[in-house]
Structure 1
Amino acid sequence: MTVLPHPSSIDPAGNGVQRIPFNIEAEKALLGALLLENRLLEDIHLQLRDEHFYEPLHGRVFAQIRRLADHNMVANPVTLRPLFETDAAIAELGGPTYLLRLTEDPAVVIAARDCAQQIYDLALLRALVLVGAELVSSATDTSSEVAPMKQIEAAEEALYRVAETGEVSGASVDFAGAARKAVEMAAKAMKSGGHLSGLTTGLTGLNNKIGGLHNSDLLVLAGRPAMGKTALATNIAFATAYRAKQDEREGISASSGAPVAFFSLEMSADQLANRILAEQSQISSENLRMGKITQAEFNDLARAAENLFDLPLYIDDTPALSIAALRTRARRLKRQKKIGLIVIDYLQLLQGTARNAAENRVQEISEITRGLKTLAKELDIPVIALSQLSRQVENREDKRPQLSDLRESGTIEQDADIVLFVFREEYYHEGKKPEDGSEKFQAWLEKADRLRGRAEVIVAKQRHGATGTVPLMFHREFTRFSDPAEGESWASDYGD
């Protein structure tokens, strides 16, 4: 680690020049490696940005490499040369040939990850130095009001920002930018008929209740087994991706759809595709899986598959993913495929990073939920994480889930912006079937007819709106949820 004086950093106490940590050679090595092998960008697991480089020129070179890579263009000394022809800083170093000198040692490719890690770590240390300098300056300035507790709170907040963002500067947004984004969301909601300001779920009732899927939100979709939470998540993922495909074809820029990344830790990619094709071709998923379909049904299946050939839905069915690996893959998909929604099935199958995570499952789940919320904010897209519920639901007379039923950690409820529960009373009623011919059988049968196909999505928590229940229909043979038919009298019972 090279530690040299920073020309603009003076010790507030007057004891000379502070020493700022940085490593110019590591920055050169990383840039050289990236220029030699652009794909290394995908392997950098950090939130490395151009402002993390100590040398501003290196930050600008890194930014141009990422920009070209994001546009699927090759980034090398030749393609970067026109972009730095008039750069004053590079002129002092011999002109654009400086870029060529960065690639003279091919061995830098081997150390790229280590260099990226060190550049990031040193940027954090410089941020800490800045916090410390400001703290010393404010603590020694007695010309203004002496309020040590407020200064301690300010210092704690600054340190928290360093831990969360990796830097002190740039963590805040001026009100004009925030207000502009809020107005854009309101305009989008107005154009959609007053209900949808985010991405569509494909379900009108749910869109009306939560306003769609909003950027940076973590949504937890929970339910007991057989309630249909995977089916609902798949339906939402398909609807969002299909809307993006439709709007792109029609040239609509302000789409309520987006490409989707679906991390399936339980089901394989072909099983998920089977569900989607069954839904779209209106063929029983069970018959489709077992091959019990007619030629006409197969033709419908082939047409559905052809229509969905270019659907922007990307499925990763890697089992036992860690939260760190998931975040790395999500960043890559965001950069390469411009995904606007992430779905994870399901949260409890993710792994934390701690070696002794199995010894403290609650802490591991806490790390995972915090990581998912951080990912949603970092990529500025909604993240839907499916979750199991504890068995205590089964011990109650009323089987409708509650927030206290979220399994293994209260931080799931704490970190989530929206918590949705899937509930089908029909499933529990089927388990109470009395003997045929008994006095209770007729009453059971009548209730079974009333409940057939009915489902509920319970909005148990919504940080930006009201809670409540949304009525849906569940078509079990197609694993598909839909809005109730217009005029269904039972659906009116769920009004706010």
Structure 2
Amino acid sequence: MSVPTQHDGIEDGGGSLFDEAPAQSFERLPPQDLNAEQCALGGMLLSKDAIGEVNETGINSSAYYRPAHGTIHDAIMDMYGKGEPVDPITVGAYLLKAGDIERIGGAAYLHTLVQTVPTAANAQYYAEIVVDRAKLRRLVEAGTKIVQMGYAAEGEVSDIVDAAQAEMQAATKLSAGAGLERVQWVDDMLEEYLVSMDAPPPSRLPLPYIDLEAILPMEPGDLVVVAARPAIGKSVVLLDIARHVAIKHRLTVLMSSMEMSRPQLMERLMAAEARVPLNRIKNRDYEGDDRQRIHEAAMRIGQAPLVVDDGPAASIVQLRSRLRWLQGQNKLPAVLCVDYLQIMKGSGKSGQNRTGEVDEVSRGLKELGGEFGVIIIAAAQLNREVEKREDKKPMMADLRESGSIEADANAVILLHRPDAYEKEHERAGEMDLIIGKNRQGPTGTVTVAFQGHYARARDMATGF
């Protein structure tokens, strides 16, 4: 069914753009209020104060049902931002120069908008109506997409469910634009700060390496990247953090591993926690008190709030679904460990290259941390340039395939083991955690003892 192009009580102004309202395959007209759209625009054309008030609602051109109204809105906001006078004549001249005057119905339609509005004082109220109708339209659009996905039945059912949940969540959280609800006067911020001066310091994530915890505070919403070449220790560090946080401190951890299966993860977890060599666990070649150590470790692990997801090539949509499910169980994790970033799937947008896909995943992880208030620790692969240099110590420039990883991360930890390249090196058994970026503190290097046979690392001072 085609969308009607003429509405009771509304004067079109004759522009062809009015006949191009967003096409939808609905049986009835999508939610909209053209009177409110006209009154919001008319108020802004009448009063400069009204423009600021309307802008506070977060409205933008995409909130308008009629594209012509969105075009007029953009013209008003552009002129307002430049400090130019805004009225029907100046806006008409702006649109004429831009080649849009006929598309919006001619200069006469701008005067019609002014005549339509009862008073400019209510422009913000009308804009809020426009924003609300836009949100409702997007809910309808999301519902339509979900119905189409269900009928198409393309791909795994679990993936379709995840995509449907993402569509609905995006629609329910959608704002018509960037409102000012988070703007705050600095004196109010200062008052809050002074009140908090004597409060306990914000909680930091407890880390398994004392010196690293002292230098690198990790707080909710942070994205921390642990980067290295293959077989240097990325998975070891992530698993050390997961064990320490979940087993010793009883904080929930979600471990998303695309590198290892659950049995492989459990073998490494058991080797590290029981201090039984990994090869003996893999080969079932136990010695001495190995079995007793394993049973004691199993008791500790079994009581820990550690959740493992070993699904192949997770996406941001899937991770969001996992977090939402845990949130619904009142078990939202303090930490999400991702192993590793470059294996994750992007949205698969047409024409997107690998760099664009990695950029998308990196930004998605950062947004996910902020959305749920979860610390995200993601492993990342460094490029081969490390191995081509005489000095194998990694640098920030070695982050593979994407500059966005460095930009998005709150902190980047680069791993280096001298004996990975020279077995008889004088520092054999040591691993450097090079803090290449730290938004909350200094950079520097922390050295730990690498115990690969136990699939773990330890503080140098703690020895065995």
| TM-score of the two chains, using structure 1 as the length reference | 0.60
CA distance in 2, matches of 1:384, 1:471: 19
Question: Aligned match of 1:456 in 419, 432, 435?
Answer: 432
Q: Is residue 457–residue 469 contact of structure 1 (8 Å, CA) maintained in 2?
A: yes
Q: Is residue 244–residue 259 contact of structure 1 (8 Å, CA) maintained in 2?
A: no
Which digits, 9 at most, give the CA deviation of each residue in 1:190-214, with x for residues without a partner?
A: xxxxxx9411112101101113x21
- After superposition, the Cα gap between the structure-2 partners of 1:186 and 1:199, relative to the gap in structure 1 and judged at 3 Å, is farther
Question: Aligned match of 1:229 in 228, 234, 238?
Answer: 234
- After superposition, the Cα gap between the structure-2 partners of 1:187 and 1:283, relative to the gap in structure 1 and judged at 3 Å, is farther
CA distance in 1, matches of 2:247, 2:194: 26
Corresponding position of 1:78? none
* Structure with larger Rg: 2
Question: Aligned match of 2:389 in 363, 377, 396?
Answer: 396
CA distance in 2, matches of 1:182, 1:294: 60
Corresponding position of 2:26? none
CA distance in 2, matches of 1:178, 1:460: 32
- SS of equivalent residue, structure 1 residue 386: strand
CA distance in 2, matches of 1:185, 1:335: 34
Question: Aligned match of 2:243 in 238, 244, 262?
Answer: 238
Corresponding position of 1:347? 341
Corresponding position of 2:281? 288
Runs of at least 5 residues in structure 2 that lack an aligned partner in the other structure? 1-29, 46-113, 118-125, 144-160
Counterpart code for 2:450: F
CA shift at 1:335, angstroms?
A: 3.8
Counterpart code for 2:238: A
State the percentage of identical aligned residues: 31
CA shift at 1:452, angstroms?
A: 2.9
Corresponding position of 1:57? none
CA distance in 1, matches of 2:211, 2:372: 27
CA shift at 1:172, angstroms?
A: 3.9
- After superposition, the Cα gap between the structure-2 partners of 1:485 and 1:24, relative to the gap in structure 1 and judged at 3 Å, is closer
Q: Report 1 or 2 for greater relative contact order, CA contacts < 8 Å, sequence distance ≥ 6.
A: 2
Corresponding position of 1:16? 116
CA shift at 1:361, angstroms?
A: 0.7
Is 1:260 aligned to 2:253, yes or no?
Answer: yes
Corresponding position of 1:368? 361
CA distance in 1, matches of 2:353, 2:404: 14
Is 1:420 aligned to 2:413, yes or no?
Answer: yes
Q: Is residue 262–residue 344 contact of structure 1 (8 Å, CA) maintained in 2?
A: yes
- SS of equivalent residue, structure 1 residue 315: strand
Backbone CA RMSD of aligned residues: 3.3
Is 1:171 aligned to 2:213, yes or no?
Answer: no
Counterpart code for 1:16: T
Q: How does 1:60-209 map to 2 (within 5 A)?
A: 124=175, 127-128=176-177, 162=178, 168-172=179-183, 188-189=200-201, 197-209=203-215
Corresponding position of 1:269? 262
Q: Is residue 402–residue 460 contact of structure 1 (8 Å, CA) maintained in 2?
A: yes
Which digits, 9 at most, give the CA deviation of each residue in 1:50-79, with x for residues without a partner?
A: xxxxxxxxxxxxxxxxxxxxxxxxxxxxxx
- SS of equivalent residue, structure 1 residue 242: helix
CA distance in 1, matches of 2:191, 2:216: 20
Is 1:481 aligned to 2:454, yes or no?
Answer: no
CA distance in 2, matches of 1:360, 1:396: 28
CA shift at 1:390, angstroms?
A: 0.5
Which digits, 9 at most, give the CA deviation of each residue in 1:288-340, with x for residues without a partner?
A: 01101137311221121122212111111110222222222223323421211
Runs of at least 5 residues in structure 1 that lack an aligned partner in the other structure? 31-40, 47-112, 129-161, 163-167, 190-195, 246-257, 431-443, 488-496
Q: How does 1:25-44 map to 2 (within 5 A)?
A: none
